[in-house]
Structure 1
Amino acid sequence: MNVRRVTLAVAAFFVIAMGITCVSDLRNDQTTTDTTATTSLVDTLNYDPHSGLVVDTTLGLVVANCSGCHSTELIRKSRFTRDGWIAKIRWMQKEQNLWDLGKNEKSILDYLEKYYSPSSLDARAQMRREPLDDIQWYDYQ
């Protein structure tokens, strides 16, 4: 009689354990699928773990000329056109004593325009949703 109870208890334990494992796997699969669907555009780019900037042959040049004065976070959060980046560089040269970038300026601007402009793929992937319209407000009572 006791052997039967122990056997049933062990069997019940395994059934419950397998059920928990299956449910956990299903949840992980759903999460992975949803995450992949929403970040697939961003995942095509590789990011440097130290600077957080997009990995490219010009990355070292950008980090060397920019991160000495400010965090690369400032670059990651900014979205300017090429003309906008030029204006920022000129302002930094005039007001913040940024050195003349010389022949490196074109390469740096190419990098910034490619990865940190309003039209870059990364920018589109990280943009917020469109503003809501036709909102019907109500008085809270």
Structure 2
Amino acid sequence: MQLKQSLMWLKGRRIIVCDPDLGRLDRLRQFFKGFGLEVVALSTAKQVTAEIEKHHYSTRRVYLAVLIDQSLAQAVVEVWGQVTHDNPTILSTPVVLMRQASDLSELQGLIEKGYFKYQLDQPPSSKALLRLLIRLNRWKKWQKELSSRPRPSVFLKR
């Protein structure tokens, strides 16, 4: 009960889950909704690319975290690299790589670039997801930014 209380600030925050397996995607959506998180679920590289492009020049953190399957991460690595090069502030959102342990050597290049804050075995267990939420709870300093309305970057006066 105390754990649930300590995670209450997560209620209403947004998290994005990118997984091509619709069954896993639905399970992850239900898990996070159980904690009151608003879940954006993407299942194709085209959807993930569109979401990345949408936030290309954003200076405001929108998501509490991004969980992405290794296959989608590999599919969008060029776009992700360009966006983070143009706008390094986008890296303030923790990105979680969901990967197979057997594919770790293949993914080492991506991991070394520093794109991922955390890694989870695919499919992630409920216990691993709960540990992730506890780790994200340490990011409470972003609580105000995630809940405040965005301010315009430019004010026009006559």
Q: State if a TM-score over 0.5 links the two structures.
A: no
User: TM-score under structure 2 normalisation?
Assistant: 0.21
Structure with greater proportional strand content: 2
Larger radius of gyration, structure 1 or 2? 1
Structure with greater proportional helix content: 1
